[in-house]
A and B are shown apart, each in its own frame.
Chain A
């Protein structure tokens, strides 16, 4: 029956959007965005600051309305049935959404109360989450005293109180130190193992690669590429080989032998774009040897977000990114 098929397709796609558009004043932030996230998968929206990632999450999580296009989350239209969408989602934004004047435990109990859990169930859920996120020792301290990593964990724990089947994470590890970042990744992978659908945004290719089943690259409000991490990496050159020399003479000779290299005179280095294969590296080394150029040091750089953007959009991810 028609209703059945509609339900089935809703189950298949946890999140879908067609032609989403949004402008703030004269600035076009989303310029016809299409995406589909199958239930139970991790989808990552990858892009530099200002690409429209947060705006996308705000529209999908019912915080703001799109100017055009349509989006469905958990089978409900985000504009027409926001409350049904809200009942199915959890959102952890880029900026900490914890109550600073409440303790960790009180923050979780506040969520339990707002979700209308009964008292004992709420307490049990709070204790369970505090334990799981290593926050039990700090449960009675005000959130204002928490470190950045602890706040982020409390933030996510608050999102999980209601066991939402679809979770939006807006740059979940931005600003965290490497160890906290790893911890957050483990938590996210745990959630995925529990069958949750995750829609996350990130500026880090490495993070998307680690976590996502599918990655979409967003640039100036449009998707410029979409695929599995492997498909995406195949689109991108294999990074660069960086050759370091001891004096300008060696650098000159090397630049003559390897014409495709980009020289950095100040650092006495030569950057050679590569496809990442061993054969290519061997080729470069044998050309240097044939030209009897002495190399002080060699390093192979794997592709980063910069390379992705350079390849896919023809411009580096400068925008307003500090790096």
Chain B
């Protein structure tokens, strides 16, 4: 009982610390938000005309309605980089050794990071959704659909955050910590974020159909714009849960192994 409440209290303390960091050093948060917004504007106003003409007629969707869910997922992935870097910076500075020599809940350092990053990432996904709405995104979802979409985004953020915490722990330096989560950012491109996998060449299509981001994006798109979801919802939740669990165990093992 008391062990658990101390763990919660220590994690809350660490969360407060990370939120103060976020406010004192907002450059990272701004770049996390900037990238998906630029992608959104680029794909709507530059490539959107041609891409939309290629698939709009077939699906009866305007291109931004197809694109926006993918961009929202991209916003979640973009948060991973800042998480990995801030975890790594923490580990390479002396303060982590201070925490390790104090009688505090062992993983509260990590859970504090995860809670802070999930909050930051969900906020940035919400802001990106706002920008998409301003650019003409017209979702058809009712309150239940929005709630489910929010839950999915939170679950994805939880999974990618634990993964990037693990990556931040294994990275040798902040520079490599910022490179390791890069594949996370590329995967939506090789999935259903920008164009349907069916339009891709055979090998890439096979990859696009089976990689984790495609079911997540398709589910989000279905929830927000009413396209069919099918088994994708279940597959998306399984991917998020599995990634979160494996990454959590990985991060915990690396963290308790201690001094690099």
Binding site for B on A (CB under 8 A): 58, 61-64, 83-84, 86-87, 89, 91, 93, 95-102, 106, 110-111, 113-116, 142, 158-159, 162
Contact = CB atoms under 8 A, between A and B. Distances in A.
Contact of B13 (A87, A97, A110, A159): A110
Contacts of B101: 61-63, 86, 89, 91
B6 interface: yes
Interface in B9-42: 9-10, 13, 16-17, 20-21, 24-25
Given A63-B258, A106-B20, A142-B24, A99 B95 contact: yes
Given A62-B100, A91-B101, A115-B102, A96 B94 contact: yes
A93 B97 contact: yes
A98 B13 contact: no
B98 interface: yes
Nearest to A55: B259
A90 to B, nearest CB: 8
7 residue pairs, one from A and one from B, having the closest CB atoms: A97-B94, A97-B98, A86-B103, A95-B94, A87-B103, A113-B13, A91-B101
Contacts, number: 63
Most chain A CB atoms below 10 A, which of B21, B25, B99, B102: B102
B97 A86 contact: no
B131 interface: no
Interface string B224-260: 0000000000000000000000000000000000110
B104 interface: yes
Given A102-B20, A116-B6, A116-B9, A64 B258 contact: yes
Contacts of A95: 93-94, 97
Interface in B152-175: none
Contacts of B104: 114
Most buried by A among B6, B94, B101, B258: B101
B95 A98 contact: yes
A101 B24 contact: yes
**Residue with the greatest number of chain A CB neighbours at <10 A, chosen from B16, B103, B259:** B103
B20 A101 contact: yes
A96 B94 CA distance: 6
A75 to B, nearest CB: 15
A229 B97 CA distance: 31
B9 A63 contact: no
A157 to B, nearest CB: 12
Contacts of B10: 114
Contacts of A93: 94, 97-98
A29 to B, nearest CB: 12
A102 B17 contact: yes
20 contacts: A62-B100, A63-B97, A63-B259, A64-B258, A83-B103, A87-B103, A93-B94, A93-B98, A96-B94, A97-B94, A99-B95, A101-B20, A102-B17, A111-B102, A113-B9, A113-B13, A114-B99, A116-B9, A158-B98, A162-B102
A63 B16 CA distance: 25
Contacts of A63: 97, 100-101, 258-259
B259 A58 contact: yes
